[in-house]
Structure 1
Amino acid sequence: MNYKDADPEGSVCSQPTASQTGENFHQKKVTFARSKHVTKCSNCQLQDVQLKKMAEQIQNIEEQLISFQKQIDEKNQQNKKQKQKQEELLIELQIISEKHHQELINNGILQKQNIELRKEILKLEQDISKVECQNQEPLKRTSEQKFIESLIQMFMSFHQKVQFPTKPQLKQVWKWLKQIVSEYAILKQKELLLHK
């Protein structure tokens, strides 16, 4: 068998017999080739339909992937914005806490200074009272001093000397005087109510 005996579609033919010579043989070859070609085309059409379906599916999948990618990008942007807001809030919180901490420190310092100042004032008051006691020279008495002395004498005359062997403080005298005035005011109101 030589290459001339080969079918153009790729099939191998046997040696032509007497009935297959001439036009008859040629027609059979063409008919065989056409039938074979038609079978291939129907397969090709099925494959084309399948390929089209697959292409559509791939296109749908690509579209879905693109939309998913867009959603992911949007979420990433939202996350970035939220992170930025969180960082800004954290910075603000840190600034506020630092200010508060500084204020607490300043308040502590002020409280210490206040306590020290009170101690110094008490010391000064004690020193003044000592100086007044030590200073026995007669000074010119002002009207205020005379008034205070007369109040103290009145207080001492109303109370026994046993209760106050030494000179009472002005604070005690003032408290006593306020009490007397308030009691007097109560009695006066009662009197007014009785007369009505």
Structure 2
Amino acid sequence: MAVMANGLRLKTARDLFMACPAIARDMRTLPTEQPSIEFCRGLLAGRVPEEAITFCAYLLPDRAAVWWAHECLSHLSELLDGTDHELLAYVRDWVGEPDSPRHRAAVSQAEAAPPTTPGAWIALAAGWRDNGSVAGGSVAGAEAPSALQPFPAAHAVNAGVLAGLARVALADRFAVLSAFVEMGIQMAEVEALRQSADAYLQPP
């Protein structure tokens, strides 16, 4: 789902909740008519700042959200094991060439693993996004979609980033969380500008 921020397609938090009702399963704060970016920063300053991560995961278009999660976890590399690093490498390659059969196969194979680590959740998000972007909901030669597939890719992105944050020392966690949210907001604004430019260049 391509979601645009800051005055473009989905201007307000309520717009996002209406476009993607699944977000209500991942956060308790009710939406308002505030602009999406303003609402997100309000979540960061609120009682449950982790909900700003959730909001970013749903605000970004799926592929951008997966890349955002990859970048977040890359900043926590010393807290991840070798398997997570391998999974993130698959995700990086897939984001760069999402139509590559080789990268799709690698992500599909990674998706089959139980999502028990931050990297596994992000690989799952890429797999879910891939399954939803091709006819029939699956990639040729890939495993059947996960039983969790009714959730959008943003659900797995959110879970992966929060799982990574849970490994950060408590004294540092809010600063890291804030940096991740600001990165997500910047990416949302860049995506919005890019999609606006694409729409402008479309022939009438």
TM-score (norm 1): 0.22
TM-score (norm 2): 0.21
Higher relative contact order (CA 8 A, sep 6+): 2
Q: Rg bigger for which structure?
A: 1
